[in-house]
Amino acid sequence: MAKVNSQVSRFDAKSTNRDDELAQTSVLLGKKSIVIPDDFAAPIEGPAKVISVVNQKGGVGKTTTTINLGAALAELGRRVLLVDFDSQASMTIGLGIKPFENEQYNSIWYLLNDPSADIHDAILKSNVPGMDFIRGHEDMAAAEAKFVSEIAKEHKLRKLLAPLMNEYDVILIDCSPSLGTLTVNALTASAGVIIPMECEYFAIHGLALVKSTIQTIKENTNPALKIDGILATRFDRKTAHSREVLELIATQFPDEVFDTIIARTIRFSESTSQGEPITTFASSSVGAMSYRRLARELIARGGSK
């Protein structure tokens, strides 16, 4: 299979050689290490794969995953768009735009409220070639009340993204820590869902709630919705508790848990405060390698083009 470009082969070679340094579900649970292919053809033609990054629990790594998985997919030659669908606008800040600054750039909230606006005017370039984004806005906190009586309110984001479907290979939506109107919109617009979770005991109950919301969406607004995977984040290799919870989840959802695990490291907070992905801030760090492996695993599973 042909490589996408020379940059890809350099990064892939590096990440494959170092895969054994990264935390992996298979290895932690005493199984054989899984080899993820590192040789990808260019993405196939066709509409973008839209993926929501969802968990109603706060601080589990949704935004970190959106930014860094997006950057890793862009390194693999994918045309990537990130959408900040959270009123905290952490993704926007994590990509270097200060809150209350650059307000002239249209946010996703503005677009949701003005049907005549052109979504192309809201697209911003990140520091990663091939990765664009649309900023969030704190006013989105009003979405529940604002859209309550609108007809087909669950389909607003799907309709908004329609003109971009042939311009990107992957669209990642960073959701807020809730399962309200905005997240329902994101799930209705998506083909897949990634659920980042921390390996601590209460997370298991939270996971059941996310899964039942996905089921409700499938029954009502989006029958084709699939879970692309459950991602263990902020994983502490030193504690037995993290491993025990991982084992419990992997036993309950064997086909859904990603083999790639994102271990806990301060480098993520550092890169966010510098307004860039870890893949450019600390390109050869374990955190960057882990998100590159996740990107390859997602493509290998068919979750992304």
CB 287 within 8 A of CB 278: yes
Question: Which of Mg ion, ligand ATP, none is residue 37 near (CB under 5 to 8 Å by kind)?
Answer: none
Q: Which amino acid is at 61?
A: G
Q: Is 259 in the site for ligand ATP (CB under 6 A)?
A: no
Scored b (16 or more CB within 10 A) or e, 56-68 reads: bbeebbbbbbbbb
Q: Is 269 in the site for ligand ATP (CB under 6 A)?
A: yes
Choosing from 16, 90, 242, 279, the residue that interacts with ligand ATP (CB under 6 A) is 90
Choosing from 23, 38, 62, 69, the residue that interacts with ligand ATP (CB under 6 A) is 62
Q: Which residues in the 59-98 window bind Mg ion by CB under 5 A? A: 62-63, 90
DSSP 8-state class, residue 1:
-
Question: Which of Mg ion, ligand ATP, none is residue 59 near (CB under 5 to 8 Å by kind)?
Answer: ligand ATP
Q: Which residues in the 22-61 window bind ligand ATP by CB under 6 A? A: 58-61
Q: Which of 17, 69, 67 is nearest to 38 (CA)?
A: 17
CB 208 within 8 A of CB 252: no
How many residues bind ligand ATP (CB under 6 A)? The answer is 19
Q: How far is the CB of 1 from Mg ion (least distance, A)?
A: 35
| Comparison of 87 and 242: residue with beta carbon closer to Mg ion | 87
Please give the C-alpha separations between residue 281 and each of 84, 266, 292, in angstroms, as whole numbers: 21, 12, 14
Cα dihedral 112/175/298/257 (nearest 10):
-150
Question: Which of ligand ATP, Mg ion, none is residue 58 near (CB under 5 to 8 Å by kind)?
Answer: ligand ATP
Question: Which of Mg ion, ligand ATP, none is residue 264 near (CB under 5 to 8 Å by kind)?
Answer: ligand ATP
Choosing from 12, 19, 38, 86, the residue that interacts with ligand ATP (CB under 6 A) is 86
Q: What is the CA radius of gyration of the chain?
A: 18
| Comparison of 63 and 106: residue with beta carbon closer to Mg ion | 63
Query: At which residue do the structure tokens 């760090």 appear?
Result: 285
Please give the C-alpha separations between residue 288 and each of 102, 159, 172, in angstroms, as whole numbers: 28, 33, 18
Q: How far is the CB of 55 from ligand ATP (least distance, A)?
A: 6
Query: At which residue do the structure tokens 């066709």 appear?
Result: 46
Question: Which of Mg ion, ligand ATP, none is residue 234 near (CB under 5 to 8 Å by kind)?
Answer: ligand ATP
Gap between the Cα atoms of 27 and 13, Å rounded: 21
Q: Is 234 in the site for Mg ion (CB under 5 A)?
A: no
Q: Is 213 in the site for ligand ATP (CB under 6 A)?
A: no
- 285 by Cβ neighbours in 10 Å (0-12 / 13-18 / 19+) ranks as middle
Q: How far is the CB of 187 from ligand ATP (least distance, A)?
A: 16
Which residues of the shown chain bind Mg ion in the complex (CB under 5 A)?
62-63, 90
Which residues of the shown chain bind ligand ATP in the complex (CB under 6 A)?
58-64, 86, 88, 90, 177, 233-234, 262, 264-265, 268-269, 272
